[in-house]
Structure 1
Amino acid sequence: MDKMLHSAPIHTNLPDCFVFPADKRPPATAAVVSLPIIDLSRSRDEVRRAILDAGKEIGFFQVVNHGVSEQAMQDMEAVCQEFFQLPAAEKAELYSEDTQKATRIYSSTMFETGGERYWRDCLRLACSFPVADSPMAWPDKPQRLREVVEKFTVQTRGMGMEILRLLCEGLGLRHDYLEGDISGGDVVLHVNHYPPCPDPSTTLGLPPHCDRNLLTLLLPSMVPGLEVAYYGDWIKVQPVPNAFVVNFGCQLEVVTNGLLKSIEHRVVTNLGVARTTVATFIMPTTDCLIGPAEEFLSEDNPPCYRTLTFGEFKRIYSVVKLGSSLNLTTNLKNVQKET
């Protein structure tokens, strides 16, 4: 627990291990580029076109009228803040640097390289479906955490599965193509906590990366911090009240043979205000075999990606740091030559 940023005394100076060279933290553009905002209550044809257009253009969008109740969102935000405000002793047994543990709290990130660290603490939870089968090793404090997380996760996963169905229809796939094992793994939640940072200009909360899963649904907090790669630049995401930020994971890029892209994103820190977000990851099962769908292949458009189990993909992702490159295709081809 001594590595947890939020449990330490207030930092007046940024420790050297968090400081990055200027070329690793280029500033975001000053131009205003808004993520598309999609109202999921509109007609089905309109929504699926909007999702597909947003996915092809930027790989990120925000959704409103999405079916997750305002109460569930507010309760989730509140209970997560309560968790990080608990005394360190009440969270100590959850701390672990073992990346295989389904439930744990830890500091910095799995992207840590060369001794450099990122300004983030994280509570990781894995939720099975039905939720009654979820691991019982979840925190028992705050007392209402389990009830709140279960309700939030059921509603958020439901929203995500509907987005996937709409996307399939827009792509010309059968509506349930992305159901089953490819979306049937544990729903993983990362409750990311970014404490106030003494020098946001010299560090990052999370490095540039692509998500390795199928679909990510972010409850973003109204404190800005997320930035998305866009035509060689970085754009700041302006949160919308009661909206989720949605982005495609690497598996959607593979399935569509590169038609849809898993786009790099990063998190910057804030000088005076803590930021807490909840990222919900819809994941394949470990042994799910994933490759380009036949519908996206032809003589003129051969497979750009290997067909791998999700477990193999995760191993490759961690070895070659797929998340640190914009060109997932090149990385996978390089790995294929090496293995």
Structure 2
Amino acid sequence: MVAVERVESLAKSGISSIPREYIRPKEELESINDVFQEEKKEDGPQVPTIDLQDIESEDETIREKCIEELKKAAMDWGVMHLINHGIPVELMERVKKSGEEFFGLPVEEKEKYANDQASGKIQGYGSKLANNASGQLEWEDYFFHLVYPEDKRDLSLWPKTPTDYIEATSEYAKCLRLLATKVFKALSIALGLEPDRLEKEVGGLEELLLQMKINYYPKCPQPELALGVEAHTDVSALTFILHNMVPGLQLFYEGKWIIAKCVPDSIVMHIGDTLEILSNGRFKSILHRGLVNKEKVRISWAVFCEPPKDKIVLKPLPEMVSVESPAKFPPRTFAQHIEHKLFRNKQEELVTEKKDEV
């Protein structure tokens, strides 16, 4: 297995400038600003906050109003802060504390959990290896593993230290799975479908996978030149994110990069490509990226709700397709969709390289 220099080790080595492979291309650099200044801005669009308190209210009018707000955010932004989501704040704090403590361990301790992407072992502790033509790297280390369903987990890959990691993360995954069902139900109703339709389409209780990725963004000496995570859309059906209240998430909305403000006790939720495809583009999978800074370490806990790789063909639901609104996406399995995105990114990189050479 190739030894990888972790971004954390690089950040702690005392460097004042970042290595060339972390510097973003010229056209990207123009839009990378100071994250703390960006978060203070009061003008311009703000990521919506959706209160889920009434999502299952007995009162039909109150329930419908909540579903309508969720629908609007899913169609307009594709990302939102969820409040009153039903997950105990103390459980979220335990998840964050155990994740922070794991990343607080010496790098050599974390290396015991290292993944090996080359051999297909993707779960574990890792850093992005340059797999693109430009050799660009992201300013982050991460820990990635499947957290639900319980019978598909491999607990041997989960950190033993801190001792609360397994229990807190397991409990949180169960709570998130229930929240996902609530959201799928509301979004199904919003599209005029049967309440259980979207959840069935993405694999139901047996097949929908919840994969957790803890993103660790060390302090960066030149944050104006780097990105924690480059611009992408999530391939998932839904993504739920906790963070340590350090801003960094940016959304590409109406032609501009908008920073997501930190909302206490909220969970950030993204609509992923999978729901965008099923809804034939009615719901939006928004382009987003992660900024870094030189003052504070940022950590986020992203849980991706993913359909099985090959068992389901993803395509716009028949009810979403009409003469006025023809199918915008060809039928593909989840695995084929991921391959398509990787291939398309490679093509775009090659085109960019050719332009640079001219």
The partner residue of 1:168 within 185, 188, 196 is: 188
Q: Which residue of 2 aligns with 1:20?
A: 24
Superposition pairs for residues 1-339 of structure 1, below 5 Å?
A: 2-8=4-10, 9-10=12-13, 11-25=15-29, 26-27=31-32, 31-42=43-54, 43-98=62-117, 100-108=120-128, 112-129=132-149, 131-136=150-155, 137-180=157-200, 182-183=202-203, 184-287=207-310, 288-321=312-345
Specify whether residues 98 and 167 from structure 1 end up closer, same or farther in structure 2 by C-alpha distance, changes over 3 A only: same
Partners of 2:309 and 2:76 lie apart in 1 by 30
Q: Secondary structure, in 3 states, of the residue corresponding to 2:304?
A: strand
CA deviation digits over 1:169-196, x for unaligned, max 9?
A: 1110111112236143321011000000
Partners of 1:101 and 1:190 lie apart in 2 by 15
Report the aligned-residue RMSD: 2.2
CA deviation digits over 1:86-126, x for unaligned, max 9?
A: 12222213223417325211113677541111101110011
- Mapped contact 2:232–2:289 kept (Cα < 8 A): yes
Partners of 2:63 and 2:5 lie apart in 1 by 48
Specify whether residues 65 and 95 from structure 1 end up closer, same or farther in structure 2 by C-alpha distance, changes over 3 A only: same
- Mapped contact 1:102–1:126 kept (Cα < 8 A): no
Partners of 1:46 and 1:221 lie apart in 2 by 31
Q: Secondary structure, in 3 states, of the residue corresponding to 1:91?
A: helix
- Mapped contact 2:231–2:287 kept (Cα < 8 A): yes
Q: Secondary structure, in 3 states, of the residue corresponding to 1:180?
A: helix
- 1:6 Cα deviation from its structure 2 partner: 1.6
Specify whether residues 110 and 277 from structure 1 end up closer, same or farther in structure 2 by C-alpha distance, changes over 3 A only: farther
Q: Secondary structure, in 3 states, of the residue corresponding to 1:201?
A: coil
Structure 2 residue identity aligned to 1:263: I
Identify, as 1 or 2, the structure richer in helix. Answer: 2
- Mapped contact 1:109–1:206 kept (Cα < 8 A): no
> Identity rate of aligned residues, in percent?
26
Structure 1 spans left out of the alignment, 5+ residues:
326-339
Structure 2 spans left out of the alignment, 5+ residues:
55-61, 350-358
Q: Which residue of 1 aligns with 2:356?
A: none
Partners of 1:114 and 1:20 lie apart in 2 by 10
- Number of aligned residues: 324
- Mapped contact 2:116–2:122 kept (Cα < 8 A): no
Partners of 2:234 and 2:291 lie apart in 1 by 17
Partners of 1:47 and 1:111 lie apart in 2 by 43
Specify whether residues 309 and 132 from structure 1 end up closer, same or farther in structure 2 by C-alpha distance, changes over 3 A only: closer
Structure 1 residue identity aligned to 2:112: E
Partners of 1:262 and 1:313 lie apart in 2 by 14
- What TM-score comes out, normalization by structure 1 length? 0.89
- Mapped contact 1:103–1:138 kept (Cα < 8 A): no
- Mapped contact 2:76–2:284 kept (Cα < 8 A): no
CA deviation digits over 1:219-254, x for unaligned, max 9?
A: 132100000001110001001000011111011111
- Mapped contact 1:22–1:202 kept (Cα < 8 A): no
Partners of 1:226 and 1:111 lie apart in 2 by 23
Partners of 1:102 and 1:174 lie apart in 2 by 36
- 1:12 Cα deviation from its structure 2 partner: 2.6
